[in-house]
Structure formats: structure tokens, C-alpha cells
Structure 1
Amino acid sequence: MSCEANPNALQPAITTASPGDTLLVSGTCTGPFTIGKDLTLSGVSGAVLDGKQAGSTVTVGSGAQVHLDHLTLTHGRAASFGGGVNNQGTLTLSRSTVTDNRAPSGPGGGVHNQGTLTVIGSTVRDNYSLGAGGGINNNGRLTVRDSSVFGNSGDNGGGIFNYLAGQTVTVIHSAVHHNTARVRDGGGIGNNLGEVTVSGSAVYGNTAPSGGGIWNGGTLKVTRSKVVGNAATGGPGSGGGIHRAGGTVTLTQSVVRGNTPENCAPLGSVQGCTG
């Protein structure tokens, strides 16, 4: 499925494909794209899905099981949420890059997840949202494995934001770094009332008014990980590394250090975190 001769060829191919098909994609394909059936898009030789600032670059419909592999998803501009990806189904994003997407009126600059999303061996970088989740806004079930989330900007949850009770984020062997929450909480990761697990990962170089690395109001488990070199700009007590606004924080074989103005706040609220 080549877009080199016809940049607009991919959406018709998606529409006419049978459920379960695999489309091999090459060239730069002009979107935005909507996928409402079980489908795999596999990129060849640097394939690009370009949203052309006309909506979410890719929208995955409820009930669809979709696999996007070896693709760059870029230039999405959502009217409400999910600049790069608006996932309402079950989506696996592997060996791909989500970059330079915007949600100027809502959450999820790179990705807005309302279903089940697995990000493997991929990069989510340099996306922007007016609301939460500059990189990824999660309203469902999210797993990030062997991936990087960096350079994203949102009002809160610059890298990743997890919203309500029952919604889960699992970050495994990944890096969440150099993201910015411009207005409120969680430069790297913001967890409102849900559950976040960080395992074998690094959260570093992120910035927010509160919770430079991680801001937690739900359940946070950090295992064999590092939260280092993050900054909160709200002054003493704003939690450069981890700010525990509520809920529970459990550190296991992890390091929280070199964050400003302190590693964890309120002081003494996170067992095993000092300074």
C-alpha cells in the first residue's frame, strides 16, 4: 500500500480492507485516518501518517483491535482531544513515533486513550495539549514498555496523565523525561485517582509547579526505578521528585534523589524518600 504516488490512498484502503487484514504502508500518507475494524498497519522504509492539522491523525473506534507498527504519526491537531491518536478500542503501538501533534482545546496532545493501549519500543515526543497529558492522556488501561516519553507539554501531566479510579498506567523499562506541566501538577507523570506502576524505569528532567517528576493523588508504586533531577517550581513543599497529594506511594528498591526543591513532599509522606 504505497502513498508515494497518491498520498490520499490509505484511508480508502482502510475502508475496503477486510477485518484482520495487514496493510503494508510506504511513503507519506495524508490523513486524518479512522479505523473501525480489526486491522494492522505496518510501515515500510520510514512510512509516515500525516494528520495535516485536520483532526486526530489516527482514530481507533470502539471494539476495534488495531496494531500500528513501524510508523511515524505526526501533524495531528484535534478539535477536542487526542492530537496524534484518539483510541477508543484496543490499540498496540509498536516501533513507532508519535511526534509534533497538538490538542489545543483539550487533553492528550500525543495520545488520548479511552480503551486499552499498549506502547512497545516506541517514542512519544514533542506533543502539546491545552489540558492534561501532553504526551499521553489515559482514561482507560495503558502499558508503556521499552519506550520513551519526552519533550511533551501539557497543562498537567506533561508526559503522562492518569485520570480516574479504575484507570491504570504501567510503565516498564521505559524513560519519562524532559516533559513539562505548565500550569499544575506532574511534569513527568500525573496520577489523579487511578493506579500507576513504574517498574525498572527512569523519570528525570521533568518540570511542573508541583510534582516535578510525579504527582500522585491515587495509588503509586515505584519499583527498581529512578526519579532523579526533576524540578518543581512552586517553592518549598512542591515536591521536585514526587508530590504526594493523597493516596498511597510505595517505593521498592528505587532511588529518588537530586530533585529540587526537595525529593518528596510533604516531607516524611513517602516512606524511604528523604531530603
Structure 2
Amino acid sequence: MSESTVLERTTLLQTGGLSVRYGGVSANTDVDITVGSGEIVGLIGPNGAGKTTFVDAVTGFTKATGTVSLAGERLEKASPHRRRRAGMARTWQAGELFTDLTVSQNLAVAVQPVGLRAMVSDVLNGSRPPAETIDHALDLVGLRDAADQRPGELTLGQQKLVGVARALVGGTRLVLLDEPAAGLDTHESRDFGAELRRIAATGIGILLIDHDMSLVLDVCDRLYVLDFGKVIASGTPAAIQDDPAVISAYLGSPEVDPDAVAELDAAGSSGGPTDLATGTEPTTTAAPEENR
């Protein structure tokens, strides 16, 4: 990445001191993260680290303190729908598609107006999916030709991309992807990563959470590492792989084994879905907020 490319980027997402508490448990503590336009930023960490909680807080689905800005607009007091209209979208870990609808119709559902007035208008006038908006989102993920197919007719990799397109539809500037590559094999994961790069090249900012470290290390410009709700490291993928605090967090031990460092370095070039240092999905005991 050239220096000029970095300088041309504008900051889309910026969080300041973002914190989430569930009773006496701190799920996120003073998390400061930025994502620029055209940038893919990874958010990684062991299970229970608070990654999904952070996405919930940024997108307005859980109560938090601190600040959330999108392109300089403060949104921490805005509803999820208001944040979505501002250009912030997300995917969900269990983001199943409507199997009885076409790909195009799955996207149309995502951009239907909400509220009583919209419901009355839909009853009186019928649904009018914004065809150009839907086609643009499908173009972004390379699935324009699949618009009239149903999800069951697509490969798993294509279904995952439909989920991303559903988040991108309607003028999205920033998309937060929560485990979008779960279940993909090596080839599908590589193709998925290429599509993410193509999306980012249009200027959309991407925050990526995924346990497939081959994907994360290959496509991300920068990484943040969460452990017990706090950012313990940030930097380029190369720098993160050599960070003792990161290796310790994934191994669950304060001592860093040189062999573990070698395994971690291998994760970025193994060619298959691997998890940091161990090659498998890690397990730790931490904040009790699902597999975050």
C-alpha cells in the first residue's frame, strides 16, 4: 500500500472510549478504533473477547458509553435505523437468507422502509423494490447474474456474498462483517477475500471479524486485537503476528513459546482456515456474552 493511498483515505468509523457493561461485567472497555474509506480493518481476539459486543455497540443494538462517529457525524445517541440510514450496516453471525425468496428479493427486504407510515403505504401501493439500488449492491459482490436465483441454488460462498450484499444495499459507506466466512473451505475463503478487496476498492470501509486467520491476515490493512474487552494491540498484520501480548492472549498463557510464534507466522500462509497460533478456534473464559 502506497503512502499516497493512505493519505487520500478519509476516516469513516471512529470510536472513542467505547465501553459496554452487563451488570458487573465489562464486555468492552475504552475501545478506540478507526476504519477509513476503502480500508479493510480486522478485529480479532479469542472467544469471549468482546468482538460482537463491540459491533452491537457501534451499530446501536446494545447500550454503550463513549462516542461513535461516521464520517465525523456523532451517532452514539442514534437508533440502529438512524445509523443504518447514515450509511452504517452490519451482518450477523446467524444471517440466514430467506430461502423462498430470490436473491434480489432478499436484498429488497433489507431496504424496505420501517414504521407505520411505510407499512400503510406498502399495503395500499404494494412493494416497489428499488431495482437500481439492488443491482448496484449485487454488482459490488459480483452476483448480478444470480439476482433471480434462490439461495439454495447458490454455492455457500455465493450465499455468504449475498449476505454481504444485503448489508451493502442502499448507500452503505461502512460495513461491519461478523464472521462472514464461517463454514467456507480454503478455495471459497480465498474467493471471498478477493471480493472483499474489490468492495473496499470502491471506497467502502470494512470492519472484519473472522476466525479464519488466513483470510484476515491476507485481506486486512490493519488489525485490532481484543482480549477481555480491551484493545491489547493494533497495527499491520505483520506486526500483530509478532506481538507477544497477542500470542499470549490466544494461548492463554503469560509465557510466549517460540514454537507458538512460528505457528502464528504460518497462519498467514497456510492456505486454509486457521485460527491464530493454534490452528483451531480458541477457547478462553471471559465475559459471558456469547462467542464474541
- Shorter-chain-normalised TM-score: which range? under 0.3
Larger radius of gyration: 2
- Normalising by structure 2, we get a TM-score of 0.27
Whose strand fraction is larger, Structure 1's or Structure 2's? 1
**Relative contact order higher in (CA < 8 Å, ≥ 6 apart):** 2
